[in-house]
Chain A
Amino acid sequence: MALPAVETVECDILVVGGGMSGCGAAFESKYWGEDLKVVIVEKAVIERSGATGEGLSAINCYMGQRYGWNTPEDFVKYVVNDMMGLAREDLVYDVGRHVDSSVHLLEEWGLPVWKKDNGEYERIGRWQIPIHGESIKPVTAEPARKAVGPENIYERISITHLLTDANDSGRIAGAIGFGVRENKIWVFKAKAVIITSGGASNVFRPRSVNEGIGRTWYSVFATGSAYGLMIPIGTEMTQMEHRFVPTRFKDGYGPVGMWFQYFHAHVENALGEDYTVTRDSELRKYEPYGSAIPTPTPLRNHQMFLDIKEGKGPMYMRTDLAMQELSGGDPAKMDKVREEAWEDFLDMTIAQALTWASQNIAPEDTPSEVVLAEPYIMGSHSGEAGAWVSGPEDLAPPEYNWGYNKMTTIQGLFAAGDGVGAAPHKFSSGSFTEGRLAAKSAVRFVRDNPGAITVSDAQVRQLSETIWAPLETFEKHKGASTAEDINPNYITPKQALVRLQKIMDEYGGGTSTWYTVNQATLERGIVLIEMLREDLAHQGARSRHELLRSWEVVHRTWTGEAHLRHLLYRKETRWPGYYYRSDYPDLDDQNWRVFVNSRYDAASDKWSLSTKPYINLIK
């Protein structure tokens, strides 16, 4: 397999990933940078790519400032409590103060929002509004495509590495990747780059097996690229130890938010007990967060976890009781509730609708099993892993401010959505908003730094060879065995993925180890993942499709390694229900109410970890 042709695109601002935050970034940058060349590079097609491609049933981040529902300050307090005391208040506030404008724009572009008779938005919970969201992604992508111009959207290109300036490794210069549908290496040279390439599923072994391993909760298309691109060039990361373990309907991973908040259903164990009642006293161990209202998500998980561990499962969502209560015996009301119940899944997690149908579950008659899923690492939903970014100029204290809002520690490299750490609970609307904020800042950066960047030909040449290596390796060695999958010279991307998942599950606190780790398991996991990282250079790919998978598993492995290293560093159990350190079983606000940051140095192949202060801005 000879090296393919290299195509070069020069632009001012490069947006890597055209998901929610990428579309927001593209839209916003072209307003302020009317004369600038803005490019989106996307591994799929932006109309259906990313975590919202399947649709959504709610916008989970909306203040409703115009109705007087919430202030951004309320939002910050809620988020900090839900995260057991650790979130960047400047970043959370920044999303909160702007997010309503994004939601109103999405509605204007065609997103149907549920309305009350008086025309106000309907509400699910305090921050959530229900939508007919099947088409949220095409509705979001359309103005982005128009804003930058269709000729500036490069689809079916997978970005594998970021490029730094030949004269300054602390300055971004672009990105490199390959065509998923044609033999070509693509080089994008850019003065500013915005990383919006999503969070990570499938780092831990999923509960799903074999044919089902694509049925993960967070989208299987989320391959940890935001982290796998930023970490290798030395970008400072934060809270990579954080993970989200979702409580979900079993096997289909259908979300439970609508059931808890809108239908007011509750979960019971096999004995008919409600863990939020029977395990109330457990919350007292985690004050002040245990008394927060609502109870933080990890603590809710923790209560359920204790039931499951004691063998009191299966756990059932009493959909039947909730629906009967809501309809009050009125068949017309029941029709409406039934329609809403199924829409929640048909708009967002269709697999769950099929799971119900396949098991003859009509939710008004039959309760439905829920379970704690495998861990996910991301920064936009209920997770807070990601890059350590500069905060908004008017709010961020000096410790959180080194120039441009949402800029990472690499000059000119910005992040948004799942790519930004310590700023959780953004969801779809907040990710779109954060993309916009990053973009406006990137335009300012480009205006202030108009000078040319330099990409060295040698670096491009070397990376092109690296990118193409799995195809070469396969061609070179395939004759060494009669079975393509079993060869002493390479592993396939699928084998690498399974190995990563096994390491993470067994040493990093996945489902099979009850989410529990200690210093020894983590150190052992790191030894094994370092070997995996070496072996990833010996992947064999039979096709461009497998080449795509080869690079996805590289990005997932960087994510997993950062996760293990951060877990090892934080010597406490801050998020019971997400993970437990058996050697430090308590929450330790005294010493550990701090952010954990890391930086990988390629020259020495060493990681350094440190802490950053949590600064309270809103009393």
Chain B
Amino acid sequence: MPTFVEPNACNACAGEHLGPLCVYICPNDLMVLDPGMNKGANQEPEMCSECYACVKLCPTEAIHIRGYADFIPLGASVQPKRVEGGFTWTVTFRDGRELQFTYPSRSTPVGSSDPYKDFTEDRVNDLGGQGLAGESKWLGVDKLPPLQAGN
């Protein structure tokens, strides 16, 4: 459902080193800074998949989603808010009922992954084999199972 930006809430991401974050993140190249207003705006709403990437990242919570006019009745909203380790979602029905849910989304601090930690595969001698990097530690069984052709 297409995003729309509340003009009074958007500050064009002043001070963000990546620039306007909605423009930075949109996987479909939809968000632009409107040159007249200097505010975030969706340049091609009909190609918006309501993935919410921009909504989740906007530092001022200025971006919302209005259901597709063609088939979504007016009045409802679904809005995420970043909380420690996840998001709290507020779901508002057309008839005003409201639900709230909080779900975790990441169990480690952002930036903490250590790609090849404790991997022991020999980069030269194991290159010809079938094992993948780190598999001796992470596969969960001792070794790659042999194919059971007669199974």
Give residues in A with beta carbon < 8 Å to B: 27-28, 30-32, 34, 43-45, 47-50, 53-55, 65-66, 71-73, 93, 97-98, 100-101, 104-105, 107-112, 132-135, 138-139, 142-143, 146-147, 156, 180, 208-216, 219-221, 251, 338-339, 342-343, 346-347, 350-351, 353-355, 357-360, 362, 392-395, 433, 436-437, 440, 443-444, 447, 545, 548, 617-619
Contact = CB atoms under 8 A, between A and B. Distances in A.
Contacts of B150: 619
A339 B1 contact: no
A71 B29 contact: no
Given A112-B105, A358-B72, A213 B52 contact: no
A216 B29 contact: no
Given A73-B147, A97-B145, A436-B132, A219 B111 contact: no
Contacts of B76: 354, 357-358
A90 to B, nearest CB: 9
B8 interface: no
28 contacts: A28-B132, A31-B133, A32-B123, A45-B24, A48-B27, A49-B27, A73-B148, A97-B145, A101-B138, A134-B103, A139-B106, A139-B113, A209-B71, A215-B1, A215-B49, A251-B71, A342-B101, A346-B87, A346-B89, A346-B103, A353-B91, A357-B76, A357-B77, A358-B94, A360-B93, A393-B130, A447-B127, A618-B151
Contact of A32 (B48, B77, B130, B133): B133
Contacts of B13: none
Contacts of B95: 360
Contact of A357 (B26, B78, B130): B78
Nearest to B47: A214
A147 B133 CA distance: 12
Given A72-B145, A214-B28, A354-B67, A112 B106 contact: yes
Contacts of A436: 132-133
A513 B50 CA distance: 29
Contacts of A139: 106, 113
Contacts of B52: 54, 350
A523 to B, nearest CB: 32
B2 interface: yes
A156 B20 CA distance: 15
A353 B78 contact: yes
Given A251-B71, A360-B95, A112 B46 contact: no
B29 A134 contact: no
Contacts of A100: 138-141
Interface residues on B, range: 35 or more
A55 B103 CA distance: 12
Contacts of A48: 25, 27, 51, 53
A595 B43 CA distance: 43
A28 B123 CA distance: 11
Interface of B: 1-2, 24-29, 43-53, 65, 67-78, 80, 86-87, 89, 91-95, 97, 99, 101, 103-108, 110-116, 119, 121, 123, 127-128, 130, 132-135, 138-141, 144-145, 147-151
B109 to A, nearest CB: 8
A215 B144 contact: no
Contact of A444 (B25, B89, B107, B127): B127
Q: Which 7 A-B pairs have the closest CB atoms?
A: A66-B140, A110-B108, A357-B76, A212-B68, A134-B105, A358-B76, A31-B133
B147 A32 contact: no
Given A208-B70, A354-B77, A444-B127, A220 B140 contact: no
A143 B44 contact: no
Given A66-B141, A146-B115, A436-B132, A44 B29 contact: yes
B24 to A, nearest CB: 7
A209 B78 CA distance: 22
B144 A545 contact: no
Contacts of B70: 208-212
Nearest to B128: A444
A112 B103 CA distance: 10
A360 B94 contact: yes
Contacts of B48: 214
B48 to A, nearest CB: 5
A121 to B, nearest CB: 10
Contacts of A55: 105
Nearest to A44: B27
A135 B145 contact: no
Nearest to A73: B151
B28 A392 contact: no
Given A34-B123, A101-B132, A440-B127, A354 B140 contact: no
Contacts of A73: 147-148, 151
A354 B50 contact: yes
Contacts of A142: 110-111, 113
B132 A134 contact: no
A135 B111 CA distance: 13
Interface centre among B26, B74, B140 (most CB of A within 10 A): B140
A338 B89 CA distance: 14
A211 B133 contact: no
A617 B1 contact: no
Contacts of A47: 25
B82 to A, nearest CB: 11
Nearest to A209: B70
A343 B103 contact: yes
Nearest to B23: A181
A105 B108 CA distance: 13
A23 B90 CA distance: 32
Contact of B46 (A28, A93, A212): A212
A143 B134 CA distance: 13
Contacts of A133: 105
A545 B71 CA distance: 27
Contact of A208 (B71, B110, B119, B144): B71
Given A31-B133, A54-B49, A619 B127 contact: no
B128 A350 contact: no
Contacts of A394: 130
A98 B28 contact: no
A55 to B, nearest CB: 8
A129 to B, nearest CB: 13
A401 to B, nearest CB: 14
A211 B2 contact: yes
A65 B139 contact: yes
A112 B94 contact: no
